[in-house]
Each structure stands twice: as C-alpha cells, then as structure tokens.
Amino acid sequence: MKPETYVSLDPAGRGSSFLIAAVMKIRPGFHVNAREKSEEYLIATDLKAELPAGFSGGEVVYPKGKLEKFAFSKTPLNVYQDTVTLRMPVTALANAPLGTQHIPLKLRYQACSTELCLPPVTLTLDVAINVASAASASRPAHAEIFANAKQ
C-alpha cells in the first residue's frame, strides 16, 4: 500500500489554513487497526507531520473505525477497510517560504488479513504545497477528497 497525499488548497497563500490528507487504499481482504484500537496489543494507525518552519498544524482527524469480527480474536476489532482518509489542519504562516514546500509525514499502521498480521510498518510520505504570497491567492483543490471535511 502506497498512500497518496493531497492538499486542499493549490496554491495555499500565506496566512491561509488548509488540510493535508493521506489516503490509504487497503487491499481487499485486509484491514488495518483504527486509531481507537480495541485491544492493548494492537498497533493503532498513527500519522505524524514534521512541519517545517513557516507552518503550524493541528491534531490529525482520524475517521471512526468499524467493528469487525475475525477468527483470531474473541472480541470484534475496531478496524479500517477499503479506502481511509486521514486529515490534518495546517496553516501557512506569514513567513512561510514561497513556492513549492514539502511536509514530510510518517504513517504507522499494521495490515492484517483474517488469518495473519503483517509486521507494523512506518511509511514516509511527502506532501508538496505550493505557497503563494497572499491568502487571497488561495484556490481550492481536490474537492473530492475534502468535500465533507471541516477546515
């Protein structure tokens, strides 16, 4: 699985707030543990951003998982399946560097099938943001990813 990243503004003007998203497409027959893990031993899905100078960020918004029953667990587990979108609010500060800027993300998760769990992995993702000098220059982008998200 190679998650894709998106930005809700292109360009994002200095002084504007926007969302970045990591979209996980989980293979059929597999699931990953939701952020709110149902058992202590499970590895929760975790997204962290290493915001460079000129940006500030808020808490990652994780979708609710779905309780599913698996042969290897007595209790239903809270999991993500199919396509899952993790979103994080970010603000381009007044001193954000102009032009294309990169925000590195680290995504940690564990994928499991009904029979086995793969080892947990941490992927490094990259979000490219085009920074403009004025907030008024901001333009919405990727409406299909951010349509129902709160800024």
Strands ordered across the beta sheet of 66-68: 66-68, 77-80, 31-33, 111-112
The 10 Å Cβ neighbour count of residue 10 is 16
Domains of the chain in sequence order: 4-146 (2.60.40.1250)
Neighbours of 36 (CB within 10 A): 11
Q: Would you give the DSSP letter of residue 27?
A: P
Q: How does pLDDT run along the chain (151 residues), one tens digit per residue?
A: 789 999 999 999 999 999 999 999 999 999 999 999 888 888 999 999 999 999 999 999 999 999 998 887 888 999 999 999 999 999 999 999 999 999 999 999 999 998 888 999 999 999 999 999 999 999 999 999 998 766 5
